[in-house]
Amino acid sequence: MTNLESLTPDAIDRLTANTEPWLSCDDCFELVDVVIEALVVSSTPFSEEFRVHLLRCPVCREEASSLAEIVAADLGFSPADAVAQIDTALSGVGA
Amino acid sequence: MSETSDPRELTVDARDQPSSVASDVPPAQVDWIMLLSVPGRAYEDAVAQIHALQLRAARRQVSRMREAAMFGAARREEIIHSAADEATMAVLARLSSFEGRSAFTTWAYKFGILQAGNDVRRAAWRDRDINLDDIPEQRQTVAPSPEGYAEGRDLAQAVRDGLREALTPHQRRVAVAVLIDEVPIDVLAERLGINRGALYKTLHDARQRLRAFLATRDFLLPAAPRKEVTQ
């Protein structure tokens, strides 16, 4: 792999992103079941630190989306709608 | 969701389905802690059900990962079952930390999702080199205006300067690999022999230093996240 030509505008955006307020991946894992279930069941908005973490940690975001899909399916909701709820929560709308 | 069926009557095979059928899920009121507190038939059945939950979670996670598309169906099944095995052990090991703040099934699913995600990314990157040395040159993807070109070029140069001058060698290697080359964070963590949380903290510190460096060069960066990551 070479990265000599890969400092794109998107890469600059990722490099200079603000990740405050701080939340670790470990903290995210501890919270994700509670936060996602609350989102799916009652549209509870994300805390700011959870929102920022999911915006900046694509791996945690992917796992949160999977969990939302499967929890929604269990509860009789639409998995696609649950993922859309995550997108809305990440945008900060309603927070 | 069935409110009356006895979850101990369910078998692993019957519930190992990639579907979203709610009746496949054990009733919410099952006292898992009680079932898993005493060795015996109830314990064994409860473990089998937890394993079925992990299969469901792992299958869901693998099905939505584009990295998994490069594998054949047999390899994907192998990853799903291996992840479910590992995740079941993790659930049993962490059982005392379950506080009932979510449904037990929601809490349990996250272990299978985490394990399956890690396993797919690890397999996808197994034979790929990760460059931990270079500072990149700028590549323009959209032709900018003359003013935008100048600003973008200046910012890119300042970012490169910041990578060299403001970051430690470890921060620089991690930032380049994850934020420029888009190596998944858990893959790099494994290669470096550290955990994902420690690596994300390194990225956080690197970003803080880079932002402070850019501020000294009069580049004003937004305080709040501007857009979503594209990785």
Task: Report pLDDT digits (tens) over B138-172.
Answer: 454 455 555 555 566 788 889 999 999 999 999 99
Task: Quote the pLDDT of residue B152.
Answer: 65
> Using an 8 Å Cβ cutoff, are A4 and B136 in contact?
yes
Report the b/e string of A18-51 with b at 16+ CB within 10 A: bbbeebbbeebbbbbbbbbbebbeeebbbeebbb
Question: Residue A57 pLDDT > 60, yes or no?
Answer: yes
Among all chains, which residue has been given the structure tokens 């991690």? B174
Q: Do A59 and B117 touch (CB under 8 A)?
A: yes
Average confidence (pLDDT) over B81-105: 95
Q: Which chain A residue shows the shortest CA-CA distance from B62?
A: A66
Q: Do B207 and A15 touch (CB under 8 A)?
A: yes
Nearest Cβ partner for B186 among A22, A36, A59: A59
Nearest Cβ partner for B200 among A8, A57, A65: A57
What are the Cα distances from residue B108, in Å, to A67, B139, B171, B199?
A: 10, 44, 34, 25
Claim: this prediction has a pTM higher than 0.95: no
Task: Give the whole-angstrom CA distance, residue B200 versus residue A55.
Answer: 13
Question: Residue A3 pLDDT > 70, yes or no?
Answer: no
Q: What is the largest CA-CA distance in chain B?
A: 75
The answer, for B13 touching chain A at a CB cutoff of 8 Å, is no
Question: Looking at CA atoms only, how far is residue A29 from chain B in angstroms?
Answer: 8
Sign of the Cα torsion B65, B71, B72, B73 reads negative
Question: Residue A35 pLDDT > 70, yes or no?
Answer: yes
Question: Looking at CA atoms only, how far is residue B49 from chain A in angstroms?
Answer: 15
